[in-house]
Chain A
Amino acid sequence: MHESLFSFLGENLQMFLSYTGFANITFGHFVMIILGLIAIYLAIAKEFEPMLLIPIGFGILIGNIPFMDAGLQIGIYEEGSVLNILYQGVAQGWYPPIIFLGIGAMTDFSALISNPKLMLIGAAAQFGIFGAYMIALQMGFEPNQAGAIGIIGGADGPTAIFLASKLAPNLMGAIAISAYSYMALVPIIQPPFMRLLTTKKERLIRMKSPRAVSQTEKIVFPIVGLLLTCFLVPSGLPLLGMLFFGNLLKESGVTRRLAETARGPLIDTITILLGVTVGASTQATQFLTASSIKIFALGALSFVIATCAGILFVKFFNIFLKEGNKINPLIGNSGVSAVPDSARISHTVGLEYDPTNYLLMHAMGPNVAGVIGSAVAAGILLGFLM
């Protein structure tokens, strides 16, 4: 009687132990948990994009708790599990357009409207996407995968997730983590190339103050912007449509409550869900591959290319501009759509050389143009490769 009870309890205990994380941990899980902790550390101690890195870092921890695959519906890749249901917003690509709605509702396009030539910088910086696309092809990725990887260079997390979910769902975890990590590291990646590619004289260029923009112009912008960009690239509709819609909510002046919801509770909710599920999607078995390492390398490269392309384009553009109308090439880096981080970097680097030269308002122009540009680029890649 006692013997059978003990053996029963022993078996139960053994079974329980086999279900614990300790019994199922692999080296990969360990590495991923360390990565998650690093992300959380960077977010809290260094304040690198805490809004993104905290949910992602914690998501990495959630996704890498080892468990026995016994059909308990706990893993993010198990159909019907809670995490899997939350992950559908990423997998089906409907979180990013909602984030774009919020971005539209919080973005002031005045700097761009007052000096529309800055839009072209936002276009030039998209070379980061296609430069990385070409390199990815040479590294052996398929064109659809290369497109999804290249979009990291747009420095736009939601766009990267949206495109990866459509073109290369199996690489989405690595692409999303790479995009958000480098967005957080923009203050480290961009300044050396900004200094390298500009002369001291160029860094001191003072730009003309932007003119005041009327309310009518602000209202016209999202409507015309949507019609022009989406007629040209209809595949960019989910992102651009929501971006401009959000902006109209903000600028119309009669939908304040909707705009506040879009740029407040709604975007916050989706950011939480997106961050944590993207993090959790990096299960060691799916994430720790040679492709992921290549994607990380290509992601860094794409940011560098985008930064350089923006700066060099401004220098080229300046050849055709009259004295007094010239653009400070330090705002070229803002063509990537990491809003407002890259614009802030233009401003900070500019202040190092002239403490009275405020570039922030000028840099916001190409910065928001970069958002439009990367969404257009994503639409092109989607149209060509899907």
Chain B
Amino acid sequence: MKKKLGALVALVLLFSVGVSAQRTTTLKLNEVLVVNNDNYQDGYGSKSPWIEIFNNSAGSVDLKGCFLTTDKNNPTMYMIPKGDVQTKVRPYQHMLFWADAKPGRGTFHTNFTFDPTKANYLALYDSDGKTLIDEVTIPASQTADVSYGLVEDGVSNWVVLSNITPSTNNRTLDSNEKIENFKRNDPTGFGMTLTAMMVVFLGLFILFAVFKLVGNIAVSITKRNAQKQAKATGTEVSNTGEEAGEVFAAIGMALHEFTNNMHDDESTILTIRKVQRNYSPWSSKIQSLRETPKRK
């Protein structure tokens, strides 16, 4: 009973660890524009400061119930409303909030704004209002229409960005860096071949070493057991673990004889041949479920 309970607890723990990977902890504050004079505008035509949040995971994350705040002592300053399907952030995608202190304008308009004259603290809290997901302090004296954000989405350092990229990647990827790197540094493919073959060999060599060891242990255990049994019964120990080659040869020979020396040259495909017989239960009207209806 205790064992079963332990296994259940372990499973629950494992499951909760797996689930947490797709939760709000993967969200990142990604880019902020404090002074918006002539930049991106909202659906009302207003140019307000904005906050971009990035989902740095391969699963969708729902922001509903999370909190945005500019006050460390008040983590629940603005709750992202529940019941709006648009609060779900798709994998590796962004969501933009307008810090315009006009929450009446909808889900994505916060009840606070930034003070451009001083450093602004910004934090994202989980729906319990206690767990800090991410925070940043935006330095004072931000230039108008220049955003402050992570160099690359979800990772690296906060800097003043050269390009303002609301709801898109902070660093635009117009090529696959890995491929470009290979083209530049390994045009013949020799490097890739050498590395990959080493990894393939290493992988299979480790398997070889482990199973060599496992095999040796298995053989010695089998021998020991056989010896014990022989002592108990007083019989002679046979060559355990090593099957006689003759056995395999006999099996192989039988297979060979069967496949190559048969009288008919058949393709070993099973077929159903029509039986030359007038009556068969398969075609019997008496036996079938669909008899011709008879009027009584």
Residues on A facing B (Cβ under 8 Å): 47, 112-114, 116-117, 119-120, 122-124, 126-127, 129-131, 133-134, 136-138, 142-144, 146, 208-214, 216-217, 220-221, 224-225, 228-229, 232-233, 351, 355-356, 358, 360-361, 369, 372-373, 376-377, 380-381, 384-386
Q: Mark B1-45, 1 if CB is under 8 A from A, else 0.
A: 000000000000000000000000000000000000000000000
Verify A373–B200 contact, CB threshold 8 A.
yes
1/0 per position for B197-216, CB-CB distance to A under 8 A? 10111111111111110110
B204–A123 CB distance below 8 A? yes
The reply to whether A214 and B222 form a contact with Cβ atoms under 8 Å apart is yes
Q: Smallest Cβ distance from B241 to chain A, in angstroms?
A: 5
Q: At the interface, yes or no: B224 with Cβ under 8 Å from chain A?
A: no
Residues of A within 8 A of B211 (CB): 112-113, 116, 119, 217, 221, 224
B247 contacts across to A, CB distance below 8 A: 209
Q: Which residues of A contact B204 (CB under 8 A)?
A: 119-120, 122-123, 369, 372-373, 376
Contact between B214 and A217 (Cβ–Cβ < 8 Å)?
yes
Taking a contact as CB atoms under 8 Å apart, the answer to whether A211 and B189 are in contact is no
Q: A130 and B197: CB pair below 8 A?
A: yes
A-chain residues with CB within 8 Å of residue B193 when the two chains form the complex: 127, 130-131, 133-134
Question: A136–B252 Cα gap in the complex (Å)?
Answer: 42
B207 near A224 with CB under 8 A, answer yes
Q: Is the CB of B199 within 8 A of A217?
A: no
Whose C-beta in chain A lies nearest to the C-beta of B248?
A209
Given contacts A134-B190, A385-B182, contact A214 B218 (CB under 8 A): yes
A64 to B201, CA, bound (A): 42
Q: Is the CB of B178 within 8 A of A384?
A: yes
What 6 A-B pairs have minimum CB-CB distances, sorted nearest first? A358-B252, A134-B189, A209-B245, A130-B193, A116-B211, A123-B204
Query: Nearest residue in B to A373 (C-beta to C-beta)?
Result: B200
How many Å from the CB of B229 to the closest CB on chain A? 15
Tell me whether B242 is interfacial, beta carbon within 8 Å: yes
B183 in complex: contacting residue of A142, A224, A225, A369, CB < 8 Å: A142
Name the prevailing secondary structure of the B interface residues.
helix
| Residues on the A chain within 8 Å of B212, using CB | 116-117
Residue in B203, B206, B212 with the greatest tally of chain A CB atoms within 10 Å: B203
Distance of A331 from chain B, by nearest CB (Å): 14
Instruction: Give chain B's interface residue range (CB within 8 Å of chain A).
Output: 35 or more
What total of A-B pairs shows CB separation below 8 Å?
150
Q: B244: CB under 8 A from chain A? A: yes
Cα-based distance from A119 to B244 in the complex (angstroms): 23
Residues of chain A contacted by B256 (CB below 8 angstroms): 351, 355, 358
A377 touches B196 (CB 8 A): yes
Question: Smallest Cβ distance from A48 to chain B, in angstroms?
Answer: 13
16 A–B contacts, CB within 8 A, in A order: A116-B207, A116-B208, A123-B201, A126-B197, A127-B193, A130-B192, A134-B193, A137-B189, A143-B192, A217-B214, A232-B206, A358-B249, A369-B204, A373-B200, A377-B196, A385-B182
Interface secondary structure of A, over-half rule:
helix
Expressed in whole angstroms, the Cα–Cα distance for A106 and B264 within the complex equals 29
Contact status of A377 and B179, CB under 8 A, knowing A224-B207, A356-B249: no
Q: Which residues of A contact B205 (CB under 8 A)?
A: 119-120, 123
Smallest CB separation, A146 vs chain B (Å)? 7
CA distance A113 to B209 in the complex (A): 11
A228, B206: Cβ atoms under 8 Å? yes
B219 at the A/B interface (Cβ < 8 Å)?
yes
Q: With A358-B252, A380-B200 given, is the CB distance from A225 to B207 under 8 Å? A: yes
A322 to B250, CA, bound (A): 26
Are A133 and B189 in contact, with the CB atoms below 8 A? yes
Q: A123-B201, A211-B219, A377-B196 are in contact. Are A385 and B207 (CB under 8 A)?
A: no
List 19 additional A-B contacts (Cβ < 8 Å) besides A126-B196, A211-B242: A116-B211, A120-B201, A123-B197, A126-B197, A130-B193, A130-B197, A137-B188, A137-B189, A209-B248, A210-B248, A211-B219, A213-B218, A217-B211, A224-B210, A224-B211, A228-B210, A232-B206, A351-B256, A376-B200
Chain A residue nearest to B186 (CB atoms) is: A143
A138 CA to B193 CA, complexed, in Å:
14
Chain B contacts for A355, CB-based, 8 A: 256
Q: Smallest CB-CB separation from B213: which chain A residue? A: A116
Shortest CB-to-CB span from A50 to chain B, Å, is 9
Distance from A330 Cβ to chain B, minimum over Cβ atoms (Å) = 15
B291 contacts the other chain (CB 8 A): no
B283 within 8 A of A: no
CB distance from A195 to the nearest CB of B (A): 20
Determine which residue in A116, A212, A229, A373 has the highest number of CB atoms from chain B within 10 A of its CB, and name it: A116
B236 at the interface (CB under 8 A from A): no
Chain B nearest CB from A362 CB (Å) reads 10
In this complex, what residue of A is CB-closest to B193? A130
**For B242, what are the chain A residues with a Cβ–Cβ distance below 8 Å?**
209, 211-212
CB < 8 Å neighbour of A116 from B199, B215, B252: B215
In the assembled complex, the Cα of A220 lies from the Cα of B217 at a distance in Å of: 13
Bound: A381/B206 CA distance, A: 20
Bound complex: CA A351 to CA B248 (Å): 15
Residues of chain A with a CB closer than 8 A to B201's CB: 120, 123-124
Tell me if B287 counts as interface (CB < 8 A to partner A): no
Partner of B218, one of A126, A216, A351: A216
